[in-house]
Structure 1
Amino acid sequence: MKKRYINKGAKKFIAYFQNFSNTYAPIERLKDIYYQVIEKDIVQISISTRPDCISDEILDLLEELKEKIDVSIEMGLQTANYHTLTKMNRGHTLAEYINATMKVKNRGFELVSHVILNFPNDNILDVIETAKILSVLGVDGVKIHSLYIVKNTILGKMFEEGKIKIGSLEDYVERTIRFLEYLSPKIVIHRLVADPPRKGTIFGNWGKPKIQIINLIERKLAEKETYQGKNFLSWYTPKTEKFKNIQNDLH
């Protein structure tokens, strides 16, 4: 794949450990894998994982790696609603996500979090609370996903039996806009909608191309004359002089 982009003129690359939990292995195995991708044209290693797969030992390894190459960590919160986290069998709680995030940020790593804005059990208040938590924790970026459902899974069976219903595309767009309005304007948006796999998906993106949904979100933002961070300062009211300076920077 790298050769394909070299042929298009690319000279620098990010090694992306994306699928599954890429810190879930013995330390020596992880070290071997990470160090294999360090080459002169690789400028960053991006490692996707879960809150329950981050330990001090792993962070020690990543700090060692960071001395040789830039390291970015991606980690899923998905929702601030801890009841939904349990129902979706996420395997971690809200508190565990917060704990892992604080550990990662205290080590000085860039952190990108993933969220899903249209869980069947979540409402608009859950969406707003998720934006607030990411903002307070100071994550560097966020990838916003729409929920998609794969066959031969528990969720897939529930969907096929009519036990869960997915909201409309219009509802997803509204949730995304509200999420952005309450999110810190300093957080980089890496993604606005999911990219479901073609094989095995029984529901994904309302049958629409990804770019069509992105365009719809951008158009609605313009129509509403709203933007990321519009409502951020309405709830983020720091009291100390340190945070007043941050507040002034945001104006």
Structure 2
Amino acid sequence: MRYYKYSQYLKDKYGAKTYKLPVNLILTCPNRDGVLGTGGCDYCGEEGASFEEASNTSVQEQLLELKDPIANKYNAEQFIAYFQNFTNTYLPLDKLLDNIEQALEIEDIVEVALATRPDCISREYASAIDGLVAEKDPETNINLELGLQSVNCHTLKNINRGHTLAEFIDTVNIAQEYGFDVGVHLILNLPGDDILDVIESAKVVSALGVDNVKLHALYIREDTELGRQYQNGDLEMISLEEYIERVIVFLEHLDPEIGVQRLLGKAPQEGTLFVNWGYNYSEVNNLILQEMEDRDSQQGDKFDYLDGKALSKYRP
């Protein structure tokens, strides 16, 4: 196994085949509703991180609708309630807790994963979530999936992200203080980032001891600022070969105990100007794996920089 696949990570963690059940609620984020900004991040379309349609149905209804079909299709025995779209912890606290409680009432849910921004978690929210889980189902884990995207503060500013690396580090500290797992989303080919930023991303998340990462290849939506730049010829995408290089280098510097959810993302066909260099998801994924095989490269090959290990370079 060239990298620690998320499916194996979950099986190791929970002892059985575990699968995500996505929950899509009607939400927004502070970078859209005027608190931080109104246009959102430069890459983010109207549908947010998911291109599945948000639902008016309850959390329980969505989970129950998906549970049996997913179990039958993938032989899943346990499940993660994945609140995947926009900024779930930006909800009023009582509404957020109600959503989590609905998920906790579903049988065989072993984890509640909350997609959110690094600047939308406080100790008040973390303490309330922790208290709810302790009361209702203390065996269920909470996983905060944080959209960091880049460790480069200049890149974060240039894409109108609305937060910096500091907020991410603070939120990881809060999450770990309450025993929550931490997932991190990273886009490895944002405009302005280079291979050094990719390496530093791997080092930062490894040093912080996060639990899992999800890698994205930037795709361009026509209803975004990057879409306008792309159509005007002001945005140049890196090559597929360069993206493959960045993924491999990232994995080589990543702690081998961190689960990797995926190596790139998918995009809706309608309204997308650029995605995965014209290849489908599986083709690019396979190209990355083949290149790792050809190089005999593995996750953690260059994980030699924590716990004083760097000193060995000077004192053999």
The answer to whether TM tops 0.5 is: yes
Contact 1:143-1:191 at 8 Å conserved across structures: yes
Q: Which moved more, 1:1-10 or 1:142-151?
A: 1-10
| CA deviation vs aligned residue, 1:96-134 (integer Å, no higher than 9, x gap) | 111111111122111110101011211100110111100
Distance 2:270 2:169 in 1: 34
Q: Which residue of 2 aligns with 1:44?
A: 111
Written as runs of structure 1 = structure 2, the 5 A alignment for 1:136-175 is 136-175=207-246
Contact 1:65-1:71 at 8 Å conserved across structures: no
Q: Which residue of 1 aligns with 2:262?
A: 191
Higher relative contact order (CA 8 A, sep 6+): 2
Secondary structure class of the residue paired with 1:92: coil
Written as runs of structure 1 = structure 2, the 5 A alignment for 1:1-251 is 1-8=66-73, 10-38=76-104, 39-67=106-134, 68=137, 69-233=140-304, 235-238=305-308
| CA deviation vs aligned residue, 1:55-109 (integer Å, no higher than 9, x gap) | 1111012212332122111101111111000011111101111111111112211
Instruction: Quote the RMSD (CA, aligned, Å).
Output: 1.6
Normalised by the size of structure 1, how large is the TM-score?
0.90
Contact 1:14-1:44 at 8 Å conserved across structures: yes
Give the AA of the match of 1:236. L
Shift of 1:37: 1.9
Contact 1:85-1:93 at 8 Å conserved across structures: yes
Residues matched between the structures, number: 239
Q: Which residue of 1 aligns with 2:18?
A: none
Shift of 1:164: 1.1
Alpha carbons of 1:6 and 1:181: their partners in 2 closer, same or farther (altered >3 Å)?
A: closer
Q: Which residue of 2 aligns with 1:247?
A: none
Secondary structure class of the residue paired with 1:53: coil
Q: From the two aligned structures, give the one with the greater helix fraction.
A: 1
Distance 1:186 1:40 in 2: 29
Distance 1:203 1:226 in 2: 29
Contact 2:213-2:261 at 8 Å conserved across structures: yes
Give the AA of the match of 2:171. A
Secondary structure class of the residue paired with 2:261: strand
- Which runs of structure 1 show a deviation greater than 6 angstroms over 4 or more consecutive aligned residues? none
Unpaired runs of at least 5, structure 1: 245-251
Q: Which moved more, 1:144-153 or 1:56-65?
A: 56-65
Secondary structure class of the residue paired with 1:191: coil
Distance 2:107 2:206 in 1: 34
Give the AA of the match of 1:238. G
Give the AA of the match of 1:110. D
Secondary structure class of the residue paired with 2:160: coil
Secondary structure class of the residue paired with 1:47: strand
